[in-house]
Amino acid sequence: MKIMKYLSLVAVLLLLVSCNKNGVAQKPIKTELDSVSYAIGMDVAKNVKASFDDFDNDLFIQGFTNALDSTDILLDEAEAQKVVRAYFQKKQQEEMAKRQEEAKANKEAGEKFLAENKTKDGVQTTESGLQYIVLKEGTGEKPTTASKVKVHYHGTLIDGTVFDSSVDRGEPTEFGVTQVIKGWTEGLQLMKEGAKYKFFIPSDIAYGANPRPGGKIKANAALIFDVELLEIVK
């Protein structure tokens, strides 16, 4: 069982930690194998911290040493595997439920924001639900789905949190009109070269329920962008 094999690695780490707390001097890294051993220890520790909010090191080491010498074993192997499997299944279900609640809350917050925003002066709404304000009209050509564009943009969540900004980086970016989220693809085709618009994008034409992992954009988040269409590259 992969989980049990993984936890056996953790046991080695915890034993080393226990020894160091008892006053054993830490070993220096001298060889390639030393470096590999240390790196594995670091990786295991990182995974333990990510997997457990609370962990009883003493009982963990007790179970490890009991299994090594086959004495005073409190759980048989089948029961131990069942306990570990049930724990991670329960944790997975709890995390899934939490994500679903967050996604629902984000959806409701976005819908409320957009419903209020569409009544404000200057806000126009398309059939897809995209809302926009013309900050500055352009005089050039409009891009098509076949175009590549050069833009400056500043993206925030509805609470004002900045998640991406070419303006802050001080460098515009180029991409194909169809290489971005649907709200951008639609919005860019409303603009002429030299224009600057503010987009208010519902989640279903942004990243929906599957934003990029680890980022500031969460599931079902509505997004706001200031976009300046500098030029149509081709």
Residue positions annotated with a catalytic role = 153, 163-164, 181, 207, 225
Q: Which of 200, 151, 189 is nearest to 173 (CA)?
A: 151
Q: What is the 3-state secondary structure (H, E, C) of the chain?
A: CHHHHHHHHHHHHHHHHHHHHCCCCCCCCCCHHHHHHHHHHHHHHHHHHHHCCCCCHHHHHHHHHHHHHCCCCCCCHHHHHHHHHHHHHHHHHHHHHHHHHHHHHHHHHHHHHHHHHCCCCCCEECCCCCEEEEEECCCCCCCCCCCEEEEEEEEEECCCCEEEEHHHHCCCEEEECCCCCHHHHHHHCCCCCCCEEEEEECHHHCCCCCCCCCCCCCCCCCEEEEEEEEEECC
Cβ neighbors of 87 (< 8 A, separation 6 or more) are none
Strand partners, 162: 156
Q: Whole-angstrom Cα distance, residue 158 to residue 217?
A: 11
